[in-house]
């Protein structure tokens, strides 16, 4: 039960912080990667230009060995340029891969935003019912993962309301009393059905408050099952 004490408000605040930090981290990574890439990529023709300067400076050389050495340097410059071009392609592929990873991270952030909005809706609407099972045999109602014991009359009232909801019907107090008692609508009054609803609310509501808000600590006493930071005294 202690794990459930954290409220939806705290969860939403933590998610907001995670989203902000994630966006800032992605922006920082993109900026740093772009700067490092453009600042450290060498010029593919830098080596060829240097060899050309050597040729111009030493244009008076006539020795065959010196000329052969200059030719080797020129060929090396061409090979270096081709190798650097292939490296640029590899860098481009790696950059695409990194971009795909960052896009995946952004997709997860979008999912977090959607989850955050969902948590906000849950916070505004209170308890979010994802499952409701009514067992007439056990006089029990299973709401989400919680079990509530009811009287036979309250269980029957809940079952009738559940069946009406599945049919998108709205039942009056007369309708409820007529279905449960088996009498005709003319012999039933609104107050009797309203009384059944009130008893159902009291029985189920007390158990829900005990389960969700006020918990009993064995041999110690009672305490609110909520985060203390969300409490305000006016």
pLDDT digits (tens, 9 = 90+) for 110-129: 788 777 777 776 666 566 67
Q: Are 185 and 143 in contact (CB under 8 A)?
A: no
Same-domain pairing of 88 and 164: no
pLDDT of residue 203: 87
Most distant CA atoms of the chain, gap in Å: 127
pLDDT of residue 33: 74
- Identify whether 24 is part of a domain: yes
pTM tops 0.75, yes or no: no
Closest CA to 12 of 123, 93, 86: 123
Same-domain pairing of 154 and 113: no
- Identify whether 208 is part of a domain: yes
- Identify whether 234 is part of a domain: no
Q: Which of 83-87, 147-151, 159-163, 206-210 bottoms out in mean pLDDT, i.e. has the lowest?
A: 83-87
pLDDT of residue 183: 87
What digits encode the pLDDT tens for the residues 23-50? 677 777 777 876 777 677 666 566 667 6
Note down the domain range covering 182: 132-229
Closest CA to 192 of 149, 183, 213, 39: 183
The pLDDT of 156-181, averaged and rounded, is 89
The whole-angstrom separation of Cα 22 and Cα 179 is: 57
- Identify whether 118 is part of a domain: yes
Same-domain pairing of 143 and 47: no
pLDDT of residue 42: 64
Same-domain pairing of 107 and 140: no
The number of folded domains in the chain is 2
Phi, psi of 63 (to 5 degrees): -70, 135
Same-domain pairing of 114 and 144: no
Of 125, 140, 164, the position where a domain reaches its end is 125
Cα separation values, 187 from 181, 192, 195, 198, 228, Å: 10, 11, 16, 21, 52
pLDDT of residue 25: 78
Same-domain pairing of 60 and 75: yes
Of 82, 97, 125, the position where a domain reaches its end is 125
Same-domain pairing of 112 and 220: no
- Winning range, highest mean pLDDT, from 62-71, 81-90, 204-213: 204-213
pLDDT of residue 38: 65
Q: Tell me the pLDDT band of 74, cut-offs 50, 70 and 90.
A: low
Same-domain pairing of 111 and 140: no
Of 96, 125, 154, the position where a domain reaches its end is 125
What digits encode the pLDDT tens for the residues 143-157? 887 888 888 989 999
Same-domain pairing of 92 and 137: no
Residue 57 in tokens:
């400076």
- Winning range, highest mean pLDDT, from 77-81, 172-176, 220-224: 172-176
- Identify whether 187 is part of a domain: yes
Sheet of 140-143: strands edge to edge? 132-135, 140-143, 146-149
pLDDT of residue 130: 76
Which residues touch 123 (CB under 8 Å, ≥6 apart)? 7, 8, 9, 12
pLDDT of residue 73: 65
Q: Which of 46-50, 95-99, 146-150, 215-219 bottoms out in mean pLDDT, i.e. has the lowest?
A: 46-50
In terms of phi and psi (left: phi > 0; alpha: psi -120 to 50; beta: otherwise), the region of 42 is: beta
Same-domain pairing of 29 and 91: yes
Q: Is the pLDDT of residue 19 over 80?
A: no
Q: Is the pLDDT of residue 3 over 50?
A: no
Compute and round to an integer the Cα radius of gyration of the chain: 38
Residue 52 in tokens:
């050309």
The whole-angstrom separation of Cα 61 and Cα 180 is: 116
């Amino acid at each position: 039960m202690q794990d459930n004490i954290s409220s939806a408000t705290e969860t939403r605040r933590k998610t907001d912080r995670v989203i902000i930090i994630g966006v800032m981290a992605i922006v920082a990574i993109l900026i740093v990667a772009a700067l490092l890439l453009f600042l450290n990529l060498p010029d593919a023709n830098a080596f060829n230009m240097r060899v050309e300067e050597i040729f111009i400076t030493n244009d008076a050389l006539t020795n065959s060995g010196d000329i052969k050495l200059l030719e080797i340097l020129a060929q090396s410059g061409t090979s270096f340029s081709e190798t650097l071009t292939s490296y640029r392609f590899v860098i481009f592929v790696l950059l695409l891969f990194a971009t795909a990873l960052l896009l995946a991270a952004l997709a997860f952030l979008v999912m977090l935003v959607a989850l955050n909005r969902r948590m906000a809706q849950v916070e505004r609407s209170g308890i979010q019912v994802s499952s409701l099972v009514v067992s007439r045999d056990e006089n029990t109602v299973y709401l989400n993962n919680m079990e509530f014991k009811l009287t036979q009359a309250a269980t029957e009232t809940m079952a009738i309301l559940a069946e009406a909801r599945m049919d998108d019907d709205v039942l009056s107090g007369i309708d409820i009393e007529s279905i449960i008692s088996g009498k005709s609508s003319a012999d039933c009054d609104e107050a009797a059905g309203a009384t059944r609803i009130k008893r159902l609310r009291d029985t189920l509501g007390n158990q829900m408050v005990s389960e969700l808000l006020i918990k009993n600590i064995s041999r110690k006493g009672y305490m609110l099952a909520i985060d203390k930071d969300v409490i305000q005294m006016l």
